[in-house]
Amino acid sequence: MGTNSGIPEGSYNFTRIDLCLGTRMSFGPFALQWRRPSPNPPPSSPLPEGITRSSIHTPSGPLELLTASPTTSAAYSDGEKPPLFFAHGAFGCAEQWLNYMQYFAAVGYPCYAISYRGHGKSWYPWFWRLYFTTRGTMVEDLTAGIKYVEALEAARRGAPGTKVVLIAHSAGGALSQYALSRNLFQVQGFCMFAAVPGFGSWGCYRFWALTAPIHFTYRGYHSRYLLATVKQVQDAFFTAETPVRHVQTFAKLLSPYESMLWPMQALNAFVTGPDVLSSITSWAHRRSVPSTSTSDRPMSESNQRLFILAAEKDVLCTPAILEDAAQRYRRAFKEMASNDLEGSNLKQDDMENRVRFRVVDGVAHHLQNHEEWGKGADEVRKWLEQL
């Protein structure tokens, strides 16, 4: 597998952000972008071959949707693979998933990635409106995207009720847990991809605890106060060994400003565990492991519909934090197995292994955007093959 990031060089022409991310440094708040882009939504940027951009029209405004259709004929045979829906985190966008979309489309998975309002090539509220946008409003965009893709895939397959496999990163993972816990949609698999846990996220911000008060004031209370420079972006999202040029290219994809309420509403616990698991379907369904799989997993590990993936060098959603989340969801599964979930006849040892947890070596929080992005993609593929 190659290590080329696959991220296009073109992005917004936000001069003040470029000054801050480059070698020049403007003073405090003047280094950051306060006005929404013009035109709004921003103009399209080049995409890799095989990926297309479209818009989902919502009452609030158009949302960017990237699509990568399967490139293998096997995807359209009986038992075709489920659609994958990629959800980004704070300051993210759909284009951060380009590598994964190409990778999984090449092995037969229909792939979709959304940009919420104020992100990517979606519509932008003005600065203070997005600043105070709630989690409930942001989840409307995620839900609109999933419902739209469900309808597309149901029509294409001739199978009403088609559900996606949701792969959600960072604060997007918290947003997804919130939506699932409220049964706003159902999925046939859920990957918490270096995701903020729904059991409270105070620990995810320890890395910034000492510097946040200083930078928040210095940057004029701007929402991007902790990601204003290349060094800040690298320290939080990448490893020290990541080339600066790679970080600079990635930083151009970050949104110029963000909602401050959305992440703050995830600081305290907002899920119980069973409320999320009950919106993940087909726990009792098994299918044989494809011959392409290289793992000899015991039967007790089959049909793991929830996958929590951590990055070894993540300083935000650390492996310890996510392992704790995995244990909490395992206990929740055991609690529900005899009542609300399918498969109440599962053996005790089977119930212990229904939530999958893995750590990817050598990468940090944005493992999908590392030069070594393939490490995480391989782990996700192994999980998908046992659904």
Q: What is the pLDDT of residues 140-170, one digit of tens each?
A: 999 999 999 999 999 999 989 999 999 999 9
For residue 5, being part of any structural domain is answered with no
Q: What are the CA-CA distances from residue 187 to residues 118, 161, 261 (Å)?
A: 25, 10, 26
- Tell me the two tokens of residue 384: 């998908």
Reported confidence tier of residue 302, pLDDT bands at 50, 70, 90: low
**Domains of the chain: total:** 1
Q: Residue 330's pLDDT is what?
A: 95
Residue 172 has pLDDT above 50, yes or no: yes
Phi and psi for 267 in degrees, rounded to 5? -65, -40
Instruction: Tell me the backbone φ, ψ of residue 192, rounded to 5 degrees.
Output: -85, 100
Q: In the prediction, which pLDDT does 350 show? A: 59
Mean pLDDT of 242-249: 98
Q: What single string gives the DSSP state of each residue in 13-29?
A: --HHHHHHHSS----GG
Are the C-beta atoms of 282 and 188 separated by less than 8 Å? yes
Q: Which two tokens stand for residue 133?
A: 């946008």
Q: What is the CATH number of the domain that holds 158?
A: 3.40.50.1820
Lowest mean pLDDT across 207-211, 253-257, 345-349: 345-349
Enter the tokens of residue 182: 């409220």
- Does residue 203 belong to any structural domain of this protein? yes
Domain that holds residue 152: 41-207+258-385
Q: Tell me what the mean pLDDT of segment 174-194 comes to.
A: 98
Q: Distance between CA atoms of 386 and 249, rounded to whole angstroms? A: 35
In the chain, what is the straight-line distance between the N-terminal and C-terminal CA atoms, in Å? 24
Mean of per-residue pLDDT scores for the chain: 87
Our CA angle for 7, 11, 17, nearest 5°, is 115
Per-residue confidence (pLDDT) for residue 27, from 0 to 100 = 59
What pLDDT digit, counting tens, does each position of 185-204 carry?
Answer: 999 999 999 999 999 999 99
Q: Is residue 359 part of a domain?
A: yes
Statement: residue 129 has pLDDT above 60: yes
Average pLDDT in the 58-73 region? Answer: 91
In a domain, 231, yes or no: no
Q: Please check whether residue 50 lies inside any domain of the structure.
A: yes
Structural contact between residues 192 and 306, judged by C-beta atoms closer than 8 angstroms: yes
For residue 174, being part of any structural domain is answered with yes
pLDDT in tens, 324-344: 999 999 999 988 876 655 544
pLDDT per residue over 95-120, tens digit each?
Answer: 999 999 999 999 999 999 999 999 99
**Alpha carbons 172 and 376: distance in angstroms, whole number:** 17
Q: d(Cα 88, Cα 104) in Å, to the nearest integer?
A: 17
Asked whether residue 288 is assigned to any structural domain, the reply reads yes
Span 6-45, pLDDT tens digits: 433 333 344 344 434 443 445 577 789 999 999 999 999 9
Q: Where are the beta strands (DSSP E) in the chain?
A: 51-57, 62-68, 84-87, 111-114, 165-170, 189-195, 306-311, 355-360
Name every residue whose Cβ is closer than 8 Å to that of residue 235 and which is 6 or more positions away in sequence.
315
Which residues does residue 191 pair with via DSSP β-bridges, in sequence order? 167, 307
Q: Is residue 372 part of a domain?
A: yes
pLDDT for 336? 84
